[in-house]
């Protein structure tokens, strides 16, 4: 892989309110979908969107914290290949998570989430995550739009409402999804084949022959896109697979009560001139496919892999951009015995990077084997001193005495959710009581 490229794998799956089985066959199926079984180089980022995740325990809640059963499997599989969950957001059954390889951890900047409930009952939603990596802004959206064939106009209204009203916090120039350098939208968009086109039996005849071209020609999303009514700002790789909906759960057979259609989609946009004075941007869809062998839902997952261009290392060095280097350097942290005294931590800000430091930065304690950036055990506010190349000292006191003995590390996290530094691993040792 070239030094100025990042690979992304995006996946969307409507799980139809089912729960994942816990057997090895399910794990192997997900390993295959995530590319973990092959010899090809793994992507740098994963963006996973799920829809219709069961909300039975949370029926009266809207924004739900903590991994669902499906995402727990995915998180565990990716962790064992060197990935951590950067952000996770869920509104009822609509879920989005972004994972990054640990080798990129100290280059992560501006991690944010946002969401928008759609329609009066809020059963459909859009959830989004953004991250700046190597100086380039990525935005990912997972969404679930209004269902049923006859609701085409409502789906168009959903899209317009989301694009206009889904905003990231902070009020910066990238608050709107469309202004990011790269945008990937995935989900159950619920667009069907055009009404008054093919009936169910005609569609199934083409499906049985493996002939997708006449079906793609009748796709209503491509139609409204071509007319400039929705998604005209986005591109989609050519569809070379059969419809992804609707199947009998546990079988490969289509539900005879519904016309099959391409409800599950992944689209993308590259604002290639955003950094024209620094680097040439580009986002290429390498492979777009469905996974027909998955029968756990009445939908089939869809996967699209991308290659994105980032700021080249030599350009970042020449223009003194902080894209490729950490900002905070921790001194070596010694093992610490609980209960004896405070844990003192010393660090310094790299020369010339003091403008990245704010009064609202924090130092977070993580287990060394943490799987998510949300999984910190304790934190303290950073030093109020912003000067670079001087020693800053902060101390964990009572807040650290409640953590369990084990191996830990520290992350310096900027107020704008930037990962600016990481310490060595060290042990917290239980106090010996006689």
Helices (H), ranges, 67-130: 69-79
| Cβ within 8 Å of residue 6, ≥6 positions away | 44, 45, 133, 134, 136, 307, 308, 310
Q: Quick one: pLDDT at residue 433?
A: 54
Q: Does domain 327-429 have CATH number 3.40.1190.20?
A: no
Could you give the 3-state DSSP secondary structure of residue 357? Answer: coil
Q: Quick one: pLDDT at residue 158?
A: 97
pLDDT digits (tens, 9 = 90+) for 103-129: 999 999 999 999 999 976 667 899 999
394: nearest Cα among 340, 325, 326, 331: 331
Taking only Cα atoms into account, the Rg of the chain, rounded to an integer number of angstroms, comes to: 23
Q: Quick one: pLDDT at residue 434?
A: 45
Bridge partners for 51 per DSSP? 14
Regions of the chain short of the pLDDT cut 70:
1, 57-65, 120-122, 432-434
The Cα-based distances of 267 to 127, 227, 239, 262 in angstroms read 15, 17, 11, 13
pTM of the model: 0.95
pLDDT digits (tens, 9 = 90+) for 67-78: 899 999 999 999
User: Residue 232 region, left (φ>0) first, then alpha (ψ -120 to 50), else beta?
Assistant: alpha
Q: Quick one: pLDDT at residue 340?
A: 73
Could you give the 3-state DSSP secondary structure of residue 105? Answer: helix
| Cβ within 8 Å of residue 159, ≥6 positions away | 145, 230, 231
User: Residue 62 region, left (φ>0) first, then alpha (ψ -120 to 50), else beta?
Assistant: alpha
User: Which class is domain 5-314?
Assistant: alpha beta
Cα of 175 vs its chain's centroid, Å = 17
CB burial readout 401-434, b (16+ within 10 A) else e: eeeeeeebbbbbbbebbbbbbbbeebebeeeeee
Reading the block at residue 387, the tokens are 């000067």
Do residues 430 and 336 lie in contact, with contact meaning Cβ atoms separated by under 8 Å?
A: no
Residue 228, judged by CB atoms within 10 A of its CB (0-12, 13-18, 19+), counts as: exposed
**Domain range summary for the chain, segments of one domain joined by +:** 5-314, 327-429
| Cβ within 8 Å of residue 148, ≥6 positions away | 190
Q: Quick one: pLDDT at residue 288?
A: 99
Q: Quick one: pLDDT at residue 432?
A: 59
């Amino acid at each position: 892989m070239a030094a100025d490229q990042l690979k992304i794998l995006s996946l969307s799956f409507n799980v139809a309110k089912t729960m994942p089985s816990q057997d090895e066959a399910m794990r192997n199926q997900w390993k295959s979908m995530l590319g973990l079984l092959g010899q090809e180089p793994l992507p740098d980022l994963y963006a996973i969107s799920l829809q219709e995740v069961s909300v039975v325990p949370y029926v009266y809640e809207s924004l739900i914290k903590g991994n669902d059963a499906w995402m727990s499997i995915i998180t565990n599989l990716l962790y064992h290949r060197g990935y951590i969950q950067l952000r996770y957001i869920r509104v009822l059954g609509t879920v989005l998570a972004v994972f990054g390889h640990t080798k990129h951890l100290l280059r992560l900047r501006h991690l944010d989430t946002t969401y928008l409930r759609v329609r009066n009952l809020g059963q459909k939603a859009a959830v989004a995550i953004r991250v700046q990596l190597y100086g380039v802004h990525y935005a990912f959206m997972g969404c679930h739009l209004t269902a049923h064939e006859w609701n085409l106009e409502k789906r168009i209204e959903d899209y317009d409402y989301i694009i206009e009203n889904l905003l990231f916090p902070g009020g910066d120039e990238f608050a709107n999804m469309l202004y990011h350098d790269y945008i990937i939208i995935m989900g159950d968009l619920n667009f069907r084949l055009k009404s008054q086109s093919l009936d169910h039996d005609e569609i199934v005849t083409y499906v049985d022959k493996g002939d997708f071209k006449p079906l793609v020609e009748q796709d209503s999303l491509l139609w409204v896109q071509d007319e400039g009514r929705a998604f005209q700002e986005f591109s989609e790789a050519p569809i070379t697979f059969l419809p992804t909906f609707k199947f009998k759960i546990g079988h490969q057979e289509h539900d005879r009560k519904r016309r099959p259609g391409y409800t599950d989609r992944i689209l993308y946009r590259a604002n290639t001139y955003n950094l024209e004075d620094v680097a040439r941007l580009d986002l290429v869809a390498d492979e777009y496919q469905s996974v027909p062998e998955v029968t756990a839902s009445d939908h089939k997952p869809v996967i699209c892999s991308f290659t994105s261009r980032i700021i080249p290392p030599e350009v970042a060095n020449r223009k003194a951009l902080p894209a490729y280097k950490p900002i905070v350097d921790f001194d070596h942290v010694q093992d610490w015995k609980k209960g004896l005294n405070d844990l003192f931590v010393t660090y310094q800000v790299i020369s010339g990077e003091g403008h990245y430091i704010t009064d609202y930065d924090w130092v977070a304690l993580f287990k060394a084997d943490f799987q998510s950036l949300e999984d910190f055990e304790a934190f303290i506010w950073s030093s109020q001193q912003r000067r670079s190349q001087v020693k800053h000292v902060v101390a964990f006191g009572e807040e650290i005495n409640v953590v369990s003995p084990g191996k830990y590390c520290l992350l310096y996290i900027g107020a704008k959710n930037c990962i600016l530094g990481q310490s060595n691993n060290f042990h917290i040792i239980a106090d010996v009581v006689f």
